Amino acid sequence: MIIAIDGPAASGKGTVSKRLAAHYGLRHLDTGLLYRAVAKTVLDSGKKPDDTEAAIAAATALDPANFDEAALKSAVVGEAASYVSAIPEVRAALVAYQRDFAATAPGAVLDGRDIGTVICPDADVKIFVTAAPEVRAHRRAKEYAAAGKDGDEATVLADIRKRDERDSNRSASPLKQADDAVLLDTTNLNVEQAVAAAIAIVERNKKR
């Protein structure tokens, strides 16, 4: 079974995806890490995230087996990832890896922005996870505080709004709910409620 999860930053899609993968015995790929790794390679080489040549070279040479997930989860890398991910050649260089991951037994949960629309248009179940921007900013600021990182809520909210705008309005594979995706709004749900709602969606929609 292939489950496609898309949605904006801090919507809860990462947590829901991990929990769905564990529940159904599937592999899990956080595809945001691929774009974050490209962005970090560009930043580490002293280039700007909108340096198209550097980003394409980094995407082409990417080795997803060697990710340092903690280093990729910073706000600076996330912001840079939203620039490199708008470059069509960067996206194209990462398609095969994602499709192979999805096609490998026993199946997978992939989360990102274009999984249901572009990477796995034939996924068995598609869920679009969202939440009000203020709630997403509150969750993200709490995560930063727990990790000992800076991030006051107003700044996080401003960043989230900017990122939503860039991710939704780019021409290459923008953030968009697939026509056949089920909407899961987690604004008023805690983690357990969101996971239970996602499992109920899979049970109702999976192909038998």
Query: Across the beta sheet with 125-130, what order do the strands follow?
Result: 27-30, 108-112, 2-6, 125-130, 182-185
Query: Contact positions toward ligand DC, by CB under 6 A?
Result: 9, 31-32, 35-36, 78, 81-82, 85, 112-114, 163, 167
Nearest to ligand DC of 98, 208 (CB atom): 98
Nearest to ligand DC of 121, 200 (CB atom): 121
Nearest to ligand DC of 100, 203 (CB atom): 100
The nearest distance, CB 184 to ligand DC, in angstroms, is 16
| Residue 1 CB neighbours (<10 A) | 16
The nearest distance, CB 203 to ligand DC, in angstroms, is 25
Specify the length of the chain in residues.
Answer: 208
The nearest distance, CB 105 to ligand DC, in angstroms, is 22
Tokens matching residue 71: 């280093």
The nearest distance, CB 25 to ligand DC, in angstroms, is 23
| Bridge partner list, 128 | 6, 183
Nearest to ligand DC of 31, 130 (CB atom): 31
Residue 86, classified by CB atoms within 10 Å of its CB into exposed (0-12), middle (13-18) or buried (19+), is: buried
The nearest distance, CB 146 to ligand DC, in angstroms, is 17
The helix-helix angle for 191-205 and 13-24 (nearest 10°) equals 60
| SS3 of residue 163 by DSSP | helix
Distance CA 11, CA 50 (A): 25
Nearest to ligand DC of 69, 152 (CB atom): 69
